[in-house]
Structure 1
Amino acid sequence: MTPWEAVAIFVAGVGAGGINAVVGSGSLITFPTMVALGMPPVIANVSNTVGLVPGSLTGAFGYREELRGQRPRLIRLGVPALVGAMIGGVLLLYLPAETFDIVVPVLIAMACVLVVIQPRLNSWLSARREHPYPHGGPWLWGGVLVCGMYGGYFGAAQGVLLIGLMGSFLDEGLQRINAAKNVLALLVNACAALLFIVVAEVDWLAALMVALGAAIGGFLGAKIGRRLPAPVLRWFVVCVGIVAIVKLVYG
């Protein structure tokens, strides 16, 4: 890896950490950057997951005020998040590499669609919520399990999925939901990263560059990200996702 490639991955990590703290979908920046630099997709995904853990940590720390009083909820939802992450990580490691090459463009496309429609979808679901549970009930528990599997396997836009789910099943404000999302995403990323460190091939220089950038980006995102126009963030992520799809399909 050349010094300029390392710098490019670091800058992508800063952007990913900031976006993950505010919206989610930061992997749509770091993952395609590493693939564009010639890294095999599975190794890029593994290294990206390992590298984004510090950013998830600083993002969650930045929302510590909004996390007050949510410990019981996070314990309840953290269990399916961890179980799902382990299942998703195992699927990534043991499914044929060709499966990843086929599935990831589809996942990125779905993530881009979710980034665009999430506000309307969330409002539509919330309007039909009749009997909210304090911690979301079994449907949210199951949804977090599926999100954990998705996050362990790939992870792009898992934050958007979590916000949509919790916003639909919890009677909470968006900032407190976003704070809880950051903690659950941290659990998923950390669990999958531990698995990958033990049994998978990690490009440690790339992971380090992502980690350094994401730690800075996560802190800044938690501080100033809520002031940025949401439509700008959404369409920026969509554009990066389209580039990733083109690169994976035609590269």
Structure 2
Amino acid sequence: MDWAEIAILLVAGIGTGMIGYGAGLASLVSFPTLLALGLPPLTANITNTVALLGTTAGGLISAQPDLVGQRGRVVKFGIAGAIGGVVGAALLLSQPAETFEQIVPWLVAFASVVLMLRPWLRSLHADRIREHHVAVPVLIGLIAVYGGYFGAAAGVLIVATLGAVMHDVYARVNALRSVILGTANLGATVVFVIVTPIEWLRVAPLAVGCVLGASVAPPVIRRIPETPLRMTIGIAGLGLATVLFLDR
């Protein structure tokens, strides 16, 4: 790996951290970058999941005030996220790499559509279910299984779920989402470290970029209109899905 690739991964990581904070779909920046650098889809997915821990770390730097008073939620939903991440990673590694390569275009397309539908998802209301219902951590755990398996748009799904059952401001919901995604990625990372080789030389610059991007994202993202950003990323994701379909 040369300095040019390190620079590309660092810049991609910064974009990943910022997009992950602002639009909730970090993987549609980092995952295509890893593919473009020649990594097979499965290796790129594993590398991406490990590096995204940097996005959580960077996001928490600026989100600490929004987590005050949420210890119970962090513990309950964080445990569900970690368990789901472990299960998702185990499912991923239990299948041949070729199977993941066949599935990944569908996952990218799904993630892109979910991102573009985020305002509608955010508007959903679960009138019969509130955050203390046993179904909520179960649903969070199921989303985390998807997060451990692939992950793109898992954050959007978590925000939609929490927003429907919690009576709280969006900033606090988003901070909790960062914690849950972090525990899911951490659970998946533990499985990956134990079971399969990790591309640490590529993880490192991508993760550093993620920390930087997520930590500086709030003032930058506030100046960018959300809808054009979200739609641009979603359309680009559908384009990537099309390319992956054609390359199968």
TM-score (norm 2): 0.93
Q: Which residue pairs with 1:114 in the alignment?
A: 114
Q: What's the counterpart of residue 196 of structure 2?
A: 200
Residues 23-72 of structure 1 deviation map (CA, whole Å, 9 limit, x = unaligned):
31111111111112211111111111111112211102211111111110
- Write out aligned runs for 1:22-61 (5 A): 22-61=22-61
Q: Which runs of 5+ in 1 are unaligned?
A: none
Aligned residue in 2 for 1:180: 176
Question: Alignment partner of 1:244: what SS?
Answer: helix
CA distance in 2, matches of 1:165, 1:69: 20
Q: Over aligned residue pairs, what C-alpha RMSD do you find?
A: 1.6
* Ranges in structure 2 where 5+ consecutive residues have no aligned partner: none
The aligned counterpart of 2:16 is: 16
What secondary structure is seen at the aligned counterpart in 2 of 1:137? coil
- Paired residue secondary structure (2:111): helix
How many residues in Structure 1 have an aligned counterpart in Structure 2?
A: 247
SS in 1 for 2:67: coil
Match of 1:3 in 2: 3
CA–CA distance in 1 between the matches of 2:16 and 2:229? 11
**1:220 paired residue number:** 216
Percent of pairs with identical residues: 34
User: 1:189: Cα distance to partner?
Assistant: 1.1
1:189 maps to 185
Tell me, yes or no, if the aligned pair for 1:14 and 1:213 is still in contact at 8 Å.
Answer: yes
Q: Which amino acid counterpart does residue 190 of structure 1 have in structure 2? A: L
CA contact (8 A) 1:62 1:223 kept: no
Note the C-alpha offset of 1:225. 2.5
Query: Stretches of 4+ moved more than 6 A in 1?
Result: none
Out of 137-146 and 157-166, give the one that drifted further: 137-146
Aligned residue number for residue 159 of structure 2? 163
Q: Aligned match of 2:127 in 126, 130, 138?
A: 130
Residue in structure 2 matched with residue 65 of structure 1 by the alignment: 65
- Does the 8 Å contact 1:13/1:30 carry over to 2? yes
SS at match of 2:117: helix
